[in-house]
Amino acid sequence: MITRLLQFLDASPVNFLAVKHIADTLESAGYRRVDPQLPIGEVKAGDKLFVTKNDSSIYAFHIGRKPLADSGFHMICAHCDSPTFRIKPNAEILCEKGIVKLNTEVYGGPIMSTWFDRPLTIAGRVIVKGKDAMSPRSLLLHIKRPLLQISNLAIHFNRSVNDGVALSKQKDMLPILGIITNELEVKNLLTNTICGELNIEKEDILDFDLYLADATPACTFGVHNEFLSSGRLDDLSMCEAGLEALINTPESDTTKVLAIFDNEETGSQTKQGAASPFLASMLKRIALAQSGSDESFYQAVERAFMVSADNAHAWHPNYSEKYDPTNHPVLGGGPVIKFNAAQKYASDAVSAAVFAQICQDAGVPCQRFVNHSDVAGGSTLGNILASSIPLRGVDMGNAILAMHSCRETGSVIDHIFCVKAFSQFYS
């Protein structure tokens, strides 16, 4: 199970590749890809379907033995985007003696200093000419070797570097890509790299969505290999736990749904984000195909339960003062239920009770997280989704250290606990 998690993390440097990996896994598990441009056709008990939006969000449905109106659905949702740097158009900047750096902008909220001095690569999608202007083709790109680096300034030029340094996104965070001997090459350095990798012609490229990613593989560490170290644990670890549980639990009375959204890190307000009506319309179409009426969708929503799975903050042994005095989850302590009085999290006493009981039934410990009252904390998917589909649900996630670092730290046993809890929920 942990080997599969590490493989998934390495195969998913960005959202598009995570969705591809999830789609491939679902297809191997017998799920049928639905084209949302076409009628979804007959839907019957036991059917396994999935659909993608923008190639960067994915929704899987395992239809239950009972009609949606009678048993609702059990949904796990998570997100596949992570903080990173997006490569801007016309990105190549020629510097002294042929050194070329790339112009980038920040995506989400990375801890920027953690991106310094480590081998990075490029991943995303390249858009090439299709049969007409409205139908360009999309090619996935993942350059599987160290290709760039954002280098620190030497301490000799900044003696106070260890006292904390303000970083400029535009000046400090631009990676170096290469050295050229012919200055005319600079305009095409990135394009030529892409063409070589994808085996296409320069004239075919119309545009791209490309991002930086850590080129170092995910791994375990610790005296007992009890820790996980990887980029993008938030929230790919929860995506993987949901996927494991979905494909390894048999058909049940209730319809199982796995929803992996994009753009959580920038507020979810896109057609492929949690604020989009896309998932609600897919559920409505399934309900309609099953029963011939919209009414069963509304009944199903009232019977449904959502687990919004997004990583939580683990107690950090060096920064105890940042945490709530009585609710600070630890690595290895099991899934974490998150509460917030201002309703940044969907959890309430009822939904938390439901999830805690699921954990208990699965033989898994669970913990509770609340922010230190003087610390603002973050937000997530659950309440955004619940404001468009009024679902009863809980916000939870496994605890990690250094959230939004280029390299986050998680716990091996927590991942196993989480898959067990999700499998119980889906059973």
Judged by CB under 5 A, does residue 414 bind Zn ion? no
Smallest gap from residue 338 Cβ to Zn ion (A): 11
Maximal CA-CA distance, the chain: 72
CB 264 to Zn ion: min, Å: 6
User: Which x/- pattern over 185-224 shows residues binding Zn ion (rule: CB under 5 A)?
Assistant: ----------------------------------------
Binding to Zn ion (CB under 5 A) within 218-257 occurs at: 234-235
Using CB under 5 A as the binding criterion, the count of chain residues that bind Zn ion stands at 3
User: CB-wise, 272 or 291, nearer to Zn ion?
Assistant: 272
Count Cβ atoms below 10 Å from residue 155 Cβ, excluding itself: 10
Give the interface segment with Zn ion, choosing from 96-104, 131-139, 307-315, 342-350 (CB under 5 A).
307-315
Closest CB to Zn ion among residues 235, 414: 235
Q: Of 100 and 346, which has the nearer Cβ to Zn ion?
A: 346
Position among 47, 262, 310, 408 found at the interface with Zn ion (CB under 5 A): 310
Which span sits near Zn ion by CB under 5 A: 195-203, 308-316, 362-370, 404-412?
308-316
Nearest distance from C-beta of residue 382 to Zn ion, angstroms? 11
Query: Closest approach of Cβ 153 to Zn ion, in Å?
Result: 31
Minimum separation from the CB atom of position 234 to Zn ion (A):
4
Minimum CB separation of residue 396 from Zn ion in Å reads 12
* Binding region for Zn ion (CB under 5 A): 234-235, 310
